Chain A
Amino acid sequence: MGKSRAHYWFIGPAVALMLLLLIMPVFVAATLSMTDYSLGNSSFNWVGIENYEKLFSRRSYQKMFSASLTYVLVVVPISVALGLGSALLISSLRIGGELYKAVFFLPVMATLLAMAIVWEFALNPIVGVVNDVLRSGCDISWIHSMLSGSWLGYEPATSWYGAACIKKFPLWLGDKQYALGTIAFIGIWQGFGFNMVLYLAGLTSVPRELYQAAHMDGADSAWERFKLVTWPMLGPTNVFVITISSIRSFQVFDTVEALTSGGPSKSTYVMVYAMFEKGVKQNLLGIGSAITIVFLAFVLILTLVQVYFVNRRVHY
């Protein structure tokens, strides 16, 4: 090799682009978060930590943090559990596993924005198919009694379904009580198939002999085998799947922008949407940059937690 200078040409463009497009923006955001900068203004004022103070004191930003955290805390556990559950079921099937795998992975591939619009139609309170199906269940007595709990002797009107049959079914995206949950549902629908394929990959790496050993030790039921072998062996996969799901759900944007615009009454005002609304729509780049920095801090913390767990648990 010796005198060759080829490596300058090979790493040069990549290093320049990394500095320009990934590292510099972080510093730009950090700097602007301490100003009142707007595009089109010739100058700006230094405001110190005022933007951050706003972020942690105003009610609308408290709603933002709470919406983002609630979304993550709902979507991550459910989509991880569904991913693991479907992977376990599929890997234990005799026939048809590949088919389910393809079906559950379909939403991961499909354009989320487009599918969000379809869900919006499906969830439309008047013409939507979801409320239509729920309403028609009210008139079929066995469905009504099962879902309202009246077959157990409860008063139908005290249950969610029974009460909804009497009054009306929710507006879903238009109701501040349900909007975030509905957005989370779409997130789970879209994302659990991704977790499923990661778990399927993790499951193939569990050595067969361990199951035989567990059998020798008297672990006969599926649950005991899972508890003794599968779950501990999936440790690294778990850490990875949970972190990646958290980072992905922190970044939720498409569904919120297209379906609720952060509303009703800021119940779905998640961080990336807030960043977009403040920074791009309202040209308040100072506060938008402050949200960027807090957001980056969250992602960094999540990644460091992952690194910690991977390092701690890697020696089995």
Chain B
Amino acid sequence: MLARTNWLGEFFKHGVLLAGAIVVLLPFYLMLSYSLKSPHEIEANVGGFFGSQEIMTDQRCVKAGNPEEDCLMRPIVYNYTAAFKEAPLVRYMLNGVFVTVTIFIIQVIVALPCAYALSKLRFWGRDVVFGMVIFCLLIPVHAIALPLYIMLAKVGLTNTYGALIIPWSISVFGIFLMRQFFMTVPDDLIDAARMDGMSEFSIVWQVMLPTAIPALLAFGIFSVVAHWNDYYWPRVVITGNKDLMTPPLGLRMFKSDMDGNEYGPMMAATTVIVMPLVIIFLLAQRRFIEGITMTGMK
């Protein structure tokens, strides 16, 4: 029954999926295209994907008192230079990298030993702690943003890197995931390490950590994607201080600071912020999809 080729059916399925793909890709296409075109071409919806790239005058450069011949440039150059000049994009990106990487490292440092203890050590109260982990899985962190914000404000931590990082230092989901993974690691491995006189501490970091790399990678993808893209939490704890803003928050500021119709520079900034993850995703697609599905159980 499966050998029967149904070309008509295949053709029809591709038609439906292709239509869906066009809608899904539309904003990505527009984002890239607008970031290349001149303001006039964007407003009139002409010029195809690349626009004509005719030399244009940078009005702001003229207003700043420069001679007009110094302010001539191609739209693509104008859009991207304006994006980096108007907003501290580099700073936003560095903040984003710093915050996401720090969060992930702290999450691993906290979760890995705990997961090891919960799966491989026997001690009084272990089930209570595990029950607590399960209970905490039910609490969506975004829902308790307000009390967390109050607590951080009370200790004077709002508008600091600490505010961006501390609330995410505990990932009960990471503990859960690592515990499930460690359950599959044979006890012999640990017993052998103990025979060799390794301390429990070195067992965690020298024996368990290397075996956990696949699970850590999946968790890492999940954690980095979530925090690079997170807008809600930075919006709550960072008010106005551009030096601390992460990429999504910085982009939001760019949007509200924007005077007139600077779609081109705006879309150039959007492209710069969206593309890193998209490119990494396209390069390591299977791993990403596996990682996010596996951790999707959150």
A residues engaging B (CB < 8 A)?
1, 4, 6-7, 9-11, 13-15, 17-18, 21-26, 28-29, 32, 39, 82, 86, 89-90, 92-94, 96, 98, 100-115, 117-119, 121-122, 127, 129, 132, 189, 193-194, 197-198, 201, 215, 220, 240, 244, 247, 251, 253-254, 257-258, 272, 275-276, 279-280, 285, 288-289, 292, 295-296, 299-300, 303
Instruction: Of the listed stretches B24-32, B67-75, B83-91, name the one at the interface; the rest are far from the partner chain.
Output: B24-32
Q: Are B136 and A10 in contact (CB under 8 A)?
A: no
Within 8 A of A (CB), among B246-298: 247-248, 251-252, 255, 261, 263, 266-267, 270, 273-274, 277-278, 281-282, 285, 288-289, 292-293, 296-298
Question: How far in angstroms is the closest Cβ of chain A from B8?
Answer: 13
Chain A residue with minimal CB distance to B27? A118
Given contacts A194-B296, A198-B296, A244-B297, 4 further A-B contacts (CB under 8 A): A24-B151, A28-B147, A109-B288, A111-B274
Nearest Cβ on chain A to B287's Cβ, whole angstroms: 12
The complex places the Cα of A223 from the Cα of B72 at a distance, in Å, of: 62
Kindly supply a per-residue 1/0 record for chain B positions 1-32, scoring 1 wherever the CB is within 8 Å of any chain A CB and 0 otherwise: 10000000010011011001101111110110
**Residue among A102, A251, A258, A300 making CB contact with B142, cutoff 8 Å:** A251
Chain A residues contacting B281 (CB-CB under 8 Å) are 102, 105-106, 109
Report if B111 contacts A (CB, 8 A): yes
Most chain B beta carbons < 10 A, residue from A89, A118, A127 = A118
Answer whether A121 and B292 are a contact pair too, CB < 8 Å, given A17-B110, A299-B140. Answer: no
Our count of residue pairs bridging A and B at CB distance below 8 angstroms stands at 254
Contact, CB under 8 Å: B143 / A299: yes
When the two chains form their complex, are residues A111 and B247 in contact, meaning their CB atoms are under 8 A apart? yes
Interface contact A11-B129, CB-CB below 8 Å: yes
Known A7-B123, A18-B136, A117-B255: A105·B289 in contact at CB below 8 Å: yes
Tell whether, in the assembled complex, residue B200 and residue A86 are in contact, meaning their CB atoms are under 8 Å apart.
no
A119 to nearest B CB, angstroms? 6
Which of B42, B114, B277, B288 contacts A14 (CB under 8 A)? Answer: B114
* Chain B contacts for A240, CB-based, 8 A: 297
Which residues of B have CB within 8 Å of A24?
Answer: 147, 151
Closest to B117 in A: A10
B contact residues around A257 at 8 Å (CB): 231, 235, 252
B37 to chain A: closest CB distance in Å?
Answer: 12
Q: Which residues of B contact A100 (CB under 8 A)?
A: 17, 20-21
- Chain B residues with Cβ below 8 Å from A109 are 225, 277-278, 281, 288
A203 to B298, CA, bound (A): 20
Residue in chain B with minimal CB distance to A240: B297
- Bound-complex Cα distance A82 to B267 (A): 29
Within 8 A of A (CB), among B76-128: 110-111, 113-114, 116-118, 121-123, 126
Which residues on A sit within 8 Å (CB–CB) of B225? 109
Task: Please name all residues of chain B whose beta carbon is closer than 8 Å to the beta carbon of A129 when the two chains form the complex.
Answer: 26, 30, 45
Q: Chain B: which residue is nearest A133 at the CB level?
A: B45
Q: Which of A11, A102, A103, A194 contacts B292 (CB 8 A)?
A: A194
Residue from B14, B24, B255 with most neighbouring chain A CB atoms (10 Å): B24
Contact partners of B288 in chain A: CB under 8 A: 105, 109
A contact residues around B110 at 8 Å (CB) = 13-14, 17
* Contact (Cβ within 8 A) B139 A122: no
Instruction: Assess whether B17 is in contact with A7, with CB atoms less than 8 Å apart.
Output: no
Main secondary structure of the interface of B (DSSP, over half): helix
* B22 and chain A: residue at smallest CB distance: A103
Interface presence of B53 (CB below 8 A): no
In the complex where A93-B14, A106-B25, A109-B288 touch, is A11 in contact with B136 (Cβ < 8 A)?
Answer: no
Indicate which residue in B43, B121, B150, B231 contacts A253 across the interface (CB closer than 8 Å): B231
Establish whether residues A1 and B118, one from each chain, have CB atoms under 8 Å apart when the complex forms.
no
Q: A127-B45, A189-B23, A300-B138 are in contact. Are A285 and B150 (CB under 8 A)?
A: yes
Q: Among B10, B28, B143, which residue has its beta carbon within 8 angstroms of that of A93?
A: B10
Neighbouring A residues of B142 by C-beta, 8 Å: 251, 253, 272
Which A residue's beta carbon lies closest to that of B281? Answer: A109
Give Cα distance in the complex from A156 to B105, angstroms.
61
Cβ B26 vs Cβ A25 within 8 A: no
B53 nearest CB across to chain A (Å): 20
A101 touching B43, Cβ below 8 Å: no
Contact partner, A106, options B28, B121, B145, Cβ 8 Å: B28
What CA separation (Å) do A276 and B114 show in the bound complex?
A: 33
Would A289 and B25 count as touching, CB distance under 8 A?
no
Q: Is the CB of A39 within 8 A of B153?
A: yes
A296 cross-chain contacts in B, Cβ below 8 A: 139, 143-144
Tell me whether B49 is interfacial, beta carbon within 8 Å: no
A-B complex: 5 closest residue pairs judged by Cβ atoms: A6-B200, A25-B147, A10-B113, A17-B170, A14-B114
Q: Which of chain A's residues have a CB closer than 8 A to the CB of B232?
A: 253-254, 272, 276
Beta-carbon nearest neighbor of B203 in chain A: A6
Closest to A298 in B: B143
Q: A163 vs B251: C-alpha distance in the bound complex, in angstroms?
A: 37
Cα–Cα distance between A193 and B281 once the two chains are bound (Å): 14
CB distance from B156 to the nearest CB of A (A): 11
Interface of chain B residues 198 through 244 with chain A (CB within 8 A) = 199-201, 204, 225, 228-229, 231-232, 235-236
B143 to chain A, nearest CB (A): 5
CA distance A299 to B136 in the complex (A): 13
User: CA–CA, A11 to B235, complex, Å?
Assistant: 32
